[in-house]
Structure 1
Amino acid sequence: MQNNKLSFLCPACKKVHEFHAMNMKEDKDISISGVDWGVEWSDFMIEVPNLNERHWERSSTMPVVGSYRSVLVSHPFNLAIGDEIWTLFQPALSLFNGWDEHPEEINNSAMVKFCFKSIISRNEKEAWIVIRIEDVLLLKEADIRLKSRESPGIMKNFDLYDSSHIFTYEEWLYIDSCSQGDIGSWALLKKKAKHYSLILEGYWDFSHNSIYCGNISVSENEVNELIRGVNNKNNL
């Protein structure tokens, strides 16, 4: 680590992938840009498990603005102490197994803005760090807090690859599309009276994992067309 910066080598290419958190544009009234780094949230304070310990209870406690949390991070985490960034919080079961297996946790998931405060312990692959919670946006409230906008044709971004699947749960619709685990995109939509709201969209490959939270109005026709396309492909 140099200049209070914490980063890790990519397991695939053995390089550090730069990420400029301060350059991310933010208009909190319209949308939020962040990363889906799979931060492992804990309920520990300063006394945390050894970095070699794999068996510890991940947290399902919603972050609270102004509180401090100890979290475990690994590649592609790349921030300097004092940096702020948005990321996705998921309770423990859906963090490990996904919303498709634990859709009841969607309503207890949130976009969280945190400030990287200090390092507790680290090795070459991961680190325990302390963060301060700066803002929390529950996914179930995103369509209330964020202004609605339109982006015609955006659903085409979520059936680009050879493997796609869709599941629904109450008012939620989730789609995931990937190519051999190397690259992919996904989306979480909320059903409204006469349309859908695209709440989350994610794009990832082996070195980057971007996530965007908004309130994009999508017509039922556009969503139904996507569902038909995925079903037809999966039935081939």
Structure 2
Amino acid sequence: MESKHFDLVGFENDVMVWSDYENEVPSLDDRNWVWSDHPPMQCQVRTVKVHHPFYMMAGEPFWVLHTPASSSINGWDSHPEEIEHSSIIQCSIERVLVRDEFKAWLRVKVLEVRMIKDFMEYFPVRDGSKGYLGDFEVFRDPNIFSYRDWLFISAGAQGDLGVWGLVKRMDGQYHMLVYGDWGFHKNNIFGGNILLPKHQIEGWIEQAMQDNRYDTLE
């Protein structure tokens, strides 16, 4: 769970879902339970449900993307207003409540909360001119959603694997603050402050507009 290119490495938000339960939890197979819309706070102990590919040991710190309930279910492209309320959270497992081979209810302690909107202040700028956008070009023709100063860029292969990036426009430059890659046995996120090549991103935007793969969200 380390990267030489990014400052944080963790799990996507759908690998770990937050609840308002404490020690009494629904069945692992019960899908009709209410997701929490209370953001995790530092030093809290919360109950979460995790599933494969989550694989951490008790007491071992890990990072996970957290988004409010609406965008957790439907994505930032449906609820872009929740981007600035999203964070990457460091946790550790306090106790396993119940588990099976693929999923579990856990009690976790919140060690640290870092808001994505503040990543440009948290992390030093890294040069993104080499290697950071290669996976997008492998899949070709990324879809781009624009919301205020934010771009959400995604590309994939028939729903089996793909990549996405959350980019903030600032002073005419493009900073990728979160990158994600997912597949059959991974669902990872990477956090940092990567200054992307302006000509490349604007070329993607122009091509996406021509191909009807660019949407401006309100």
- TM-score, normalised on structure 2? 0.88
Amino acid at match of 1:109: S
Aligned length: 211
The answer to whether residue 2 in structure 2 is matched with residue 32 in structure 1 is no
Shift of 1:164: 2.9
Q: Residue in 1 aligned with 2:49?
A: 72
The answer to whether residue 29 in structure 2 is matched with residue 52 in structure 1 is yes
CA distance in 2, matches of 1:35, 1:198: 17
CA distance in 1, matches of 2:145, 2:158: 20
Q: Residue in 1 aligned with 2:216?
A: none
Q: What SS is found at the alignment partner of 1:196?
A: strand
Q: What SS is found at the alignment partner of 1:43?
A: coil
Amino acid at match of 1:57: V
**Equivalent position to 2:94, from 107, 113, 117:** 117
**Equivalent position to 2:62, from 53, 77, 85:** 85
Q: How does 1:101-116 map to 2 (within 5 A)?
A: 101-116=78-93
Distance verdict in 2 for CA 1:210–1:84, change over 3 Å: same
Amino acid at match of 1:114: C
CA distance in 2, matches of 1:124, 1:155: 35
Distance verdict in 2 for CA 1:155–1:25, change over 3 Å: closer
Instruction: Report Cα offsets for 1:106-125 as digits up to 9, x if no partner.
Output: 11110011101111112233
Q: Residue in 2 aligned with 1:208?
A: 186
CA distance in 2, matches of 1:231, 1:170: 17
CA distance in 2, matches of 1:26, 1:222: 23
Instruction: Report Cα offsets for 1:112-150 as digits up to 9, x if no partner.
Output: 111011111122332100111111110111111111121
Shift of 1:234: 5.7
CA distance in 2, matches of 1:25, 1:223: 23
Distance verdict in 2 for CA 1:205–1:113, change over 3 Å: same
- TM-score, normalised on structure 1? 0.82
Amino acid at match of 1:51: L
Could you list the structure 1 runs, at least 4 aligned residues long, displaced by more than 6 angstroms after superposition: none
Q: What SS is found at the alignment partner of 1:223?
A: helix
Instruction: Report Cα offsets for 1:192-231 as digits up to 9, x if no partner.
Output: 0120111011111110122110111124322111223444
CA distance in 2, matches of 1:150, 1:61: 36
Q: Residue in 2 aligned with 1:176?
A: 154
CA distance in 1, matches of 2:164, 2:114: 19
Instruction: Report Cα offsets for 1:78-123 as digits up to 9, x if no partner.
Output: 1211111111001111111110001111111100111011111122
CA distance in 2, matches of 1:199, 1:167: 15
**What's the Cα RMSD here?**
2.1
Contact 2:13 2:67 (C-alpha < 8 Å) held by counterparts:
no
Q: Residue in 2 aligned with 1:145?
A: 122
CA distance in 2, matches of 1:34, 1:233: 33
Contact 1:45 1:69 (C-alpha < 8 Å) held by counterparts:
yes
**Equivalent position to 1:193, from 153, 168, 171:** 171
Identity of aligned residues (%): 31
Instruction: List runs of 5+ in structure 2 lacking aligned partners.
Output: 214-218
Contact 2:161 2:182 (C-alpha < 8 Å) held by counterparts:
yes
**Equivalent position to 1:221, from 195, 199, 217:** 199
Shift of 1:26: 8.2
